[in-house]
Amino acid sequence: MLLSISLILIVGMSMAWLCQRLRLPGLMGMLATGMILGPHALDLLDADILGISEELRKIALIIILTRAGLGLDLEGLKKTGRPALLMCFIPASFEVLGVILLGTRLMGLTVLEAAVLGAVLAAVSPAVVVPRMVRLMEEGYGKREGIPQMILAGVSVDDVYVIVLFSTFTGMMQGKGVSAVSFINIPVSILLGTVIGLAAGSLLALFYKQVHIRDTSKVLILLSISLFLVAAEDMLTTPISFSSLIAVMFIGIGLQKKRGEAARRISVKYGKLWVAAEIFLFVLVGAAVDTGYLAQAGGRALLVILGALAFRMAGVALCLWGTKLGRREWLFVMLAYTPKATVQAAIGGIPLSMGLACGDSVLTAAVLAIVLTAPLGAFAMDLSYQKLLNRS
């Protein structure tokens, strides 16, 4: 395990640096590191590390979501209003519809199988998008128009919505039928996550005001509470639950509202944590990609993915219709809503493990979507944000 950690950090940082020198996103190097060192290539990563890969990736995601909450401009988010709400579910719905229409024709899937594939592909990757929106807010690009804030809110809820759709569609394929409670749980889990996060953030602000401790200790307390909330959601067996990832982001927002200066200092500490967490996140996502499936993907799966992205962009355009944003801002938001990675790596293999007939096709398309959209989406955002967005 120690050797694996060493390889992940050294090779991951080196490959990221090399990509940056070539004017490519660093995450391309990290993903490539995971693919090369992972079990489907050189197999140099210890089985124990791979066994806790999902937990390590979730910790990294918690770190960046908390940092996003600590730096989120609430006034800018309020300005976006309706588009921020629509971005939570309309682009994903359009993409699922696109996969159903294209998958049944190009890949020979049934409507229900194509719906399962659509639910896997429709999730945007917070791991790719959130760090870039945090950077935009720090540098002031699009902040006045509320663009990074709107994307942050949409990406956080988008995953909750898509995972509920995935659970529903796979349940229908196993003969469980449609559960109305699952769909009721979408708004309820978002609302509960928001309330729990704001309450926890406000209580932490009060605690930090009364008890004077080092900023490092404050970070550890905040991180511990975040981990507890995520674990609590996993342990819940009730039909109605809460979204822990939304709660994690809103802890930062609640703390920022009550103790702005403390939130800024903690955000700096979280920025340092993210340096290591980012490497582990993307290297382990890369390690989960079975490159052997890419040879089976073929042009049809590629056409379905590209066609579905066109549907997603149409959904984004519908959300932005009637706003004061110009064409350049529209284009940036569309590009920012394309990357796939973490959710696809997490759930892409589930249909196959369930023994569903579409399992191979779903996993193949999920792998192809990660390899295609994660680096290209990141590259498009990194290359375009200074040209497409105004700086406040």
> pLDDT tens-digit profile of 25-74?
788 899 899 999 999 899 999 999 999 988 888 898 889 888 888 877 66
Neighbours of 268 (CB within 10 A): 12
339: left (phi over 0), alpha (psi -120 to 50) or beta: beta
Neighbours of 237 (CB within 10 A): 5
312 and 98 in contact (C-beta within 8 Å)?
yes
Label residue 322 by pLDDT band (50, 70, 90).
Answer: confident
pLDDT digits (tens, 9 = 90+) for 213-256: 999 999 999 999 999 999 998 898 887 788 888 899 889 989 99
Q: Which of 24, 94, 66 minimizes the C-alpha distance to 263?
A: 66
The overall average pLDDT reported for the chain is 88
* CB-based contacts of 3, cutoff 8 Å, min separation 6: 44, 46
Q: Please compute Rg for the chain using Cα positions.
A: 20
Rounded to two decimals, what is the model's pTM?
0.80
For residue 108, give Cα distances in angstroms to 100, 258, 311: 11, 55, 20
Q: Which residue, chain included where needed, has tokens 């309450």?
A: 199
Cα 282 versus chain centre, distance: 12
Q: Which of 348, 145, 158, 140 minimizes the C-alpha distance to 246?
A: 158
Label residue 196 by pLDDT band (50, 70, 90).
Answer: very high
Strand-pairing partners, residue 386, are none
Residue 178 dihedral angles phi and psi, to the nearest 5°: -95, 130
Average pLDDT over residues 152-159: 83
- Encoded amino acid at 297, one letter: A
For residue 353, give Cα distances in angstroms to 164, 189, 274, 360: 18, 27, 32, 10
Q: Which of 146, 155, 171, 152 minimizes the C-alpha distance to 89?
A: 155
Strand-pairing partners, residue 380, are none
Q: What is the rounded distance in angstroms from the CA atom of residue 148 to the CA atom of residue 154?
A: 10
pLDDT at 177: 60
pLDDT at 40: 87
